Every structure is written in C-alpha cells, then in structure tokens.
Structure 1
Amino acid sequence: MPRTVFCQYEQRDAEGLDFAPWPGELGQRIHAGIGKPAWNAWLAHQTMLINENRLSPRDPRHRAFLEGEMEKFLFGGGAQKPAGFVPPPA
C-alpha cells in the first residue's frame, strides 16, 4: 500500500515519495511532507531552470542555487522563473 502524506506544496493528501530524493535534512523534510505529483512538478521546473540558465549540476554553485530554488518551490518561498520566461498560452 502506498504511503500517504499531507503535501505541503499541494495542501492536500497525496501519495508520498518512496525514499528521500535529496541528502540531509532537506531530503528528509521533502520525504515527510511532499507528494509524488509535487516532486514531479519540481523536476519539470528544475529542468527548465537548468536549460534556460545553462546550469551544470556538477558545479557546486549551481547545485546550491538549485537546492535553494527547490526549497522555495516546494515549501512556498516563491521560486524564481528564468529571465524572459513567458508561460505557455492556456
């Protein structure tokens, strides 16, 4: 039976992640309070940030930037969009 968590991103019960997706305290916080749909939304946002800002996950400064954006995105701190971002038409 899947694990259910109250997702802090979606503000509703959702299927929980199978494991902590990030090391350390932040990873445990994500595992305890973020659902799979919210994590997938973050992965899509992270991909956009990496591509549009030409980030390298191997660069420690870029990883630190992505970690900060991940925390803002998932826990309500107002994650940043890339410069010149225009949302697709509805």
Structure 2
Amino acid sequence: MANMVFCKKYQTEMEALERAPLPGAKGQEVLQTVSKQAWQEWQLLQTMMINEKQLNLMQPDARKYVMEQMDKFFNNEETDKVTGYVNPDDITEL
C-alpha cells in the first residue's frame, strides 16, 4: 500500500511522494504536505512557466520566482498565468 499524506492543495488524504523532491527543509515540507498528484501537476505548470518566461534557473531571481509560484500553487493562491499554452482538448478541428 502506498504511503499517504494530507495534501494541502486538495485538503484530503492522497498518495504521498516517495522521496523529498527538493533538498533541505523545503523538500521535507513538500514531502510531508504535498501529494504525488499535486507535485506532478506543479511540475507541468513549472515547466510551462520556465519555458514561456524563458527563465534561467542559474539566476537567483528566477529560482526565487519559481519557488514563490510553487508556494502559491500548493496554497491554492493565484499563480502567474501561462498565456501561450493551449490545452489540446480545447482544440477543435476545422
């Protein structure tokens, strides 16, 4: 049986991550409060943000921005929009 965690994003018991996705205290916090599903959804959004905004994660400001957006996402606060993304399910063929 999978480990479970009370996910702060979805406010319910869900499958937990297998290991901390980040180093240090922040990684332990995510491991203990974020579900596997929420983490996977964050990874998709994070990738879109990095690509669209052409972030260079070698720059401290870019890393800080991503971490702030991650906190907002998991706390169900408004995150920056990814304007260039079109959900393939929303596309209708002509």
Q: Structure 2 length normalisation: TM-score? A: 0.81
Deviation track 1:34-71 (CA, whole Å, cap 9, x = no partner) reads: 11110000000000100100011222211111011111
What is the identity, as a one-letter code, of the residue corresponding to 2:72? K
Point out 4+ residue stretches in structure 1 off by more than 2 angstroms. Answer: 23-26, 84-90
Number of residue-to-residue matches in the alignment = 89
Further displaced range: 41-50 or 55-64: 55-64
- Equivalent pairs: percent with the same residue? 34
1:11-26, aligned counterparts within 5 Å? 11-26=11-26
Partner SS for 2:72:
helix
Quote the RMSD (CA, aligned, Å): 1.8
Deviations 1:59-86 (A, max 9, x none): 221111101111111122322113x456
Q: Which runs of 5+ in 1 are unaligned?
A: none
Higher radius of gyration, 1 or 2: 2
The Cα shift of 1:20 comes to 1.3
Corresponding residue number in structure 2 for 1:52: 52
TM-score (norm: length of structure 1): 0.85
Unaligned runs of 5+ in 2: none
